[in-house]
Structure 1
Amino acid sequence: MTDAVPRRSFLQGGAAAVGGAALALGGRAAWDASTTAAPAPDAVGRATEPAAGPRQAGVATAPQSFATWVALDLLDGVDRAALVRLMRIWTDDIARLTAGRPGLADTEPELALVPARLTVTVGFGPGVFRAAGLEAQRPAWLAPLPAFTVDRLEAAWSDGDLLLQVCADDEMAISHAVRLLTKGARTFVSVRWTQRGFRPSPGATPPGATMRNLMGQLDGTVNPVVGVDDAVVWHGAEAADWLVGGTSMVVRRIAMDLDTWDLVDRAGREFTIGRRLDTGAPLTGTHERDVPDLDAVDALGLPVIDTAAHVRRARSTDPDQRILRRGYSYDDATAAGTSTDSGLVFVSFQRDVTAQYVPLQRRLDDLDLLNRWTTPIGSAVFAVPGGVLPGEFLAQRLLVGNGR
């Protein structure tokens, strides 16, 4: 597969590339930061997250207020050499955008000046390994999830060869980044699906507060602690070189039946979840992060936390089965004759999907009161390569080894 000459010339450096840029932009002068006003001195807008490092940003990063996920399918003829070119382009664009600078071929450079903690996380589906002739490098857990009885999966929200997870505290920053990254990849990929989600805006809740989903419950209370429980999320030296500092990503679109949930009283909701809605505390505790007492019984000898309550079914006695949840709510335009199209873009990161996520989901699939109001309608699994070290491009250690 061939590249679009003007776009790729930027990556070759030199004065000739600058001239090519002017032509590629329809005669416009190449981007010059000195000709455009600096972004407004706003703390939220100016904030940045580093793109380079041993791990990709957007996993352990404090969750931003907005997110977009774009799953992409490789076009026919894309091989390992083409993937190398694409990763070089994305590496350069991501480094610039997350620092609040335009991409080299950015036709709307002013839109890049407010990064608002922009991060871009790149994931690989099984198709990347097939196209690159690297099936031997594909982790065993990188495959579609097993079938679950609660699933009603739609192709419109499932699978994909590549994934871009783009997060920021400003929707304009996300929109511009998605546009630039997908526009520069048109000769390699087509868009399979796009999902968008939101959390509380900056300052709306205290830093580090657990977000509430659209059912009103705190979502993500029992998460691994960054810097303490890294072994359940990240691959270390035991993994293949390209996966060191990497992880796996599960993306599940979960529709919520809010209309019938509205009919459930507060006691019924808390019984279903096993937690109090106001504080998030388990029904046997006082504070959000109190450990549920699953052996506690009431005056009649019945479990205080029902045997099918969500908090019980989601809990494991194996500390290695924990996952890092980083979900976002969605509330989309409704079709005629319907009142809601809402739910959760459930995103989790874990070292091994098969050993960590699948056992958890099987317990929920077997018996969970919350299944009455939630339905998974999309599902995808991706490998997240390790981060970009100095002099590298994304996934270089997978696609070409350690050579520069």
Structure 2
Amino acid sequence: MTDTPETGSDQEPRRGMSRRALLTGGAAGAGIGAILGLGSAAGFTALRPNPGSAVPSDDGSIRSAGAGGDLPGFGGEALPCHGAHQAGITTPSTAHARYVAYRLRPEVDADGVRRLFRILTEDIEGLASGAAPLADPEPELAARPSRLSVTVGVGAGLVDRVDPSRRPEWLKPLPAFAEDRLDDRYGDGDLLILLQADDPLPLAHAARMIHRDLTGFAEHHWTQQGFRQARGSEADGTTMRNLMGQVDGTVNPHPDEEDFDPLVWIGADGGWMSGGTALVLRRIRMELDTWDQIDRPGREITIGRTLDDGAPLTGGDEHTPIDFEATTPLGLKVIPMAAHARRAHSTDPDERIFRRAVNYDDGTEAGLLFACYQRDPYRQFVPIQQRLDEMDMLNEWVTHTGSAVFAMLPGFAAGETLGASLTG
């Protein structure tokens, strides 16, 4: 699944002049200002194959988009790509997600990173709107974006190419955990592209277009793809289930809550990361064959919640707070000391994370792509994982095989370039 890029040929499209030729082709690249009029965002709109489709608005609305007019119905919806924060972090979860990591080529310097971000900006605006990016040889595949979002993160190596002094202290590999069995194929990279959509067709097309435009700057490192329940199969707001059958993600901060921003978004004192966030991505293999051998009460005790509706074993419904002091008639804790729910719980309100997990099944193994966002992984995620690592009954049936940390860039407005706060 992750050994080779899922994006097809590296050849340039034969019709029209490619952006890579314009931005990286020596003398030709130097003349891009004259060719496009203003450089990047404003100029590429005039050269798009589908000028009838507008770029998503800043107001947070979801609307239909398409080539030469609206495309109503399922799949025609476009998410806005502009705003203080990138789309795809707090926007509604979609059915499909693909994480693609890259390593920068040795010759790419700060100016190269700047050109890379200009290309990504154009790709995101075109793909998210349904208008298709410049020189897209199959614009029809982009016409129904199906709530497509493209979210970009950077690793320590990319920041160091620009200015090592600007790298956040937390942007580094996580500390070792005793239960980890990490595979380098799923480790940190220099650049992360997260694509999410309700339809795998526009998602796959977007991945291929972006890969085509990145090959002059970076080499594919890994791809990890996941899924949730199909859109419409459950009521909006229903907590997803993982492949163990558990309701997964019950206790999760909500963007409407007053304390969400201080937990997730990096504030004005964060310099170039102001408006961005830190992503931890963990690949967790599930030992489903042996898990299925455990009876239902045993599985519920392991988690501390019921399997049917995710309610705590101490009573109530899914969102009822757990009573960790409750005991059985024999004086034992209803929620065992090593139950997953107890080990993940913290009495520190600042030690919380915003989770966005998806399931994965590549035909040889299955599990969870656990993604969480926070201001500082070492302050928020690491203490939680340390408790789970030390004593969690669930460790018998899960193995962490991948771990990566990325700085998810702040958002950008129409006419701006993604990543400009880092590259200047």
Q: Given the two structures, how large is their TM-score scaled by the length of structure 1?
A: 0.90
Q: CA deviation at 1:43?
A: 2.8
Which residue of the partner structure matches residue 11 of structure 2?
none
2:132 aligned with 1:106, yes or no?
no
1:77-116 paired onto structure 2 within 5 Å: 77-116=107-146
Kindly indicate whether residue 382 of structure 2 is the aligned counterpart of residue 358 of structure 1. yes
Query: Within 5 Å, which residues of 2 pair with 1:384-403?
Result: 384-400=408-424
For residue 152 of structure 2, the aligned residue among 93, 102, 122 is: 122
**Residue 16 of structure 1: how far off its partner (Å):** 8.0
Q: After superposition, where does 1:17-36 map in structure 2 within 5 Å?
A: 31-32=49-50
Give the drift of 1:369: 0.5
Residue 279, structure 1, aligned to residue 309, structure 2 = yes
Q: Which moved more, 1:222-231 or 1:273-282?
A: 222-231
Q: Secondary structure at the match of 1:239?
A: helix
What's the CA shift string for 1:272-328, capped at 9, x where partnerless? 000001110110121101111001000000000000000000010011111011010
How far the C-alpha of 1:356 sits from its partner, in A, is 0.2
Confirm or deny: 8 A CA contact 1:39 1:46 kept in the other structure: no
Give the AA of the match of 1:370. Answer: L
Query: What's the CA shift string for 1:330-385, capped at 9, x where partnerless?
Result: 01122xxxxxx100011100111110000000000000000000000001000012
Aligned counterpart, 1:171: 200
Three-state SS of the structure 2 residue aligned to 1:43 is: coil
Equivalent residues of 2:50, 2:132 under 8 A apart: no
Q: Where has structure 1 moved over 3 Å in runs of 4 or more?
A: 6-17, 36-42
Q: In 2, distance between residues paired with 1:351 and 1:80?
A: 25
Cα distance, 1:37 vs structure 2: 6.9
Output aligned runs, 1:187-226, within 5 Å.
187-226=216-255
Give the conservation status (yes or no) of the 8 Å contact 2:142–2:205.
yes
Name which of 232, 257, 272 aligns with 2:263: 232
Q: Does 1:12 align with 2:28?
A: no
Percent identity over the alignment is 47
Structure 2 CA distance for aligned equivalents of residues 38 and 197 of structure 1:
32
CA deviations over 1:113-159 (Å, ceiling 9, x no partner)? 01011111100100011211x11111111100000011000011111
In the alignment, the residues of structure 1 paired with residue 412 and residue 69 of structure 2 have an alpha-carbon distance, to the nearest angstrom, of 27
Cα distance, 1:16–1:198 mapped onto 2, change above 3 Å: closer
Q: Deviations over 1:27-84 (max 9, x none)?
A: xx972567x9768944331111111111011111111110000000000111110000
Find the counterpart in structure 1 of residue 188 from structure 2. Answer: 159
Determine if contact 1:7/1:184 at 8 Å carries over to the other structure: no
**In 2: Cα distance, 1:200 partner to 1:348 partner:** 19
DSSP-derived class of the 1:238 partner: helix
What corresponds to 1:21 in structure 2?
none
The aligned counterpart of 1:337 is none
- Rounded to whole Å, the distance in 2 between the matches of 1:302 and 1:16 is 72
Could you tell me which residue of structure 1 aligns to residue 277 of structure 2?
A: 247
1:56 and 2:86 correspond = yes
Partner of 1:69: helix, strand, or coil? Answer: strand
Using the TM superposition, give the Cα deviation of residue 12 of structure 1 relative to its aligned residue in structure 2, in angstroms: 3.3
Residues 1:374 and 2:389 aligned together: no
Which of 350, 356, 359 is equivalent to 1:329? 359
Task: Write the distance in 1 (CA, Å) between the matches of 2:241 and 2:84.
Answer: 31
The 3 A distance-change label for structure 1 pair 7 and 107 is farther
Amino acid in the other structure paired with 1:354: Y
8 Å CA contact retained: 2:343, 2:391: yes
**What letter corresponds to residue 177 of structure 1 in structure 2?**
A
Gaps of 5+ in 1: 18-28, 335-340
Residue 12 of structure 1 aligns with an amino acid whose one-letter code is I
Shift, 1:172, TM fit: 0.6
- Equivalent residues of 2:141, 2:202 under 8 A apart: yes
| C-alpha contact (below 8 Å) 1:325/1:347 kept by paired residues | yes
Query: Quick one: distance in 1 between partners of 2:154 and 2:35?
Result: 34
Partner amino acid, structure 1, of 2:410: G
Shift of 1:231: 1.3
The reply on whether 1:301 has 2:331 as its aligned counterpart is: yes
**1:23 matched residue in structure 2:** none
Q: Which digits, 9 at most, give the CA deviation of each residue in 1:73-105, with x for residues without a partner?
A: 000111110000010000011011101111002
TM-align CA RMSD? 2.1
Whole-angstrom CA distance in 1 between matches of 2:327 and 2:68: 62
Instruction: Quote how far apart the aligned CAs of 1:390 are.
Output: 3.8
Residue 243 of structure 1 and its aligned partner are, at CA, apart by 1.1
Shift of residue 207, structure 1, vs aligned partner: 0.2
What letter matches 1:355 in structure 2?
R
Q: Secondary structure at the match of 1:130?
A: helix
- Structure 1 distance, partners of 2:234, 2:69, is 25
The aligned amino acid for 1:187 is: G
One-letter identity of the residue aligned with 1:230: D
Q: Is this contact kept in 2: 1:246–1:385, CA < 8 A?
A: yes
Question: Which residue identity is paired with 1:74?
Answer: L
**TM (normalized to structure 2)?**
0.85
Aligned length: 379
Cα distance in 2, alignment partners of residues 39 and 284 from structure 1: 54
Return 5+ residue gaps in structure 2 as ranges.
Answer: 1-18, 38-46, 53-65
| 1:71 maps to amino acid | A
Mapped to 2, the partners of 1:181 and 1:128 lie a distance apart of 17
CA distance in 2, matches of 1:287, 1:82: 53
Q: 1:190 to 1:45 in 2, by over 3 A?
A: same
Q: In 2, Cα distance between the equivalents of 1:230 and 1:88?
A: 28
Judging changes above 3 Å, is the alpha-carbon distance between structure 1 residues 101 and 37 closer, same or farther for their aligned structure 2 residues? Answer: closer
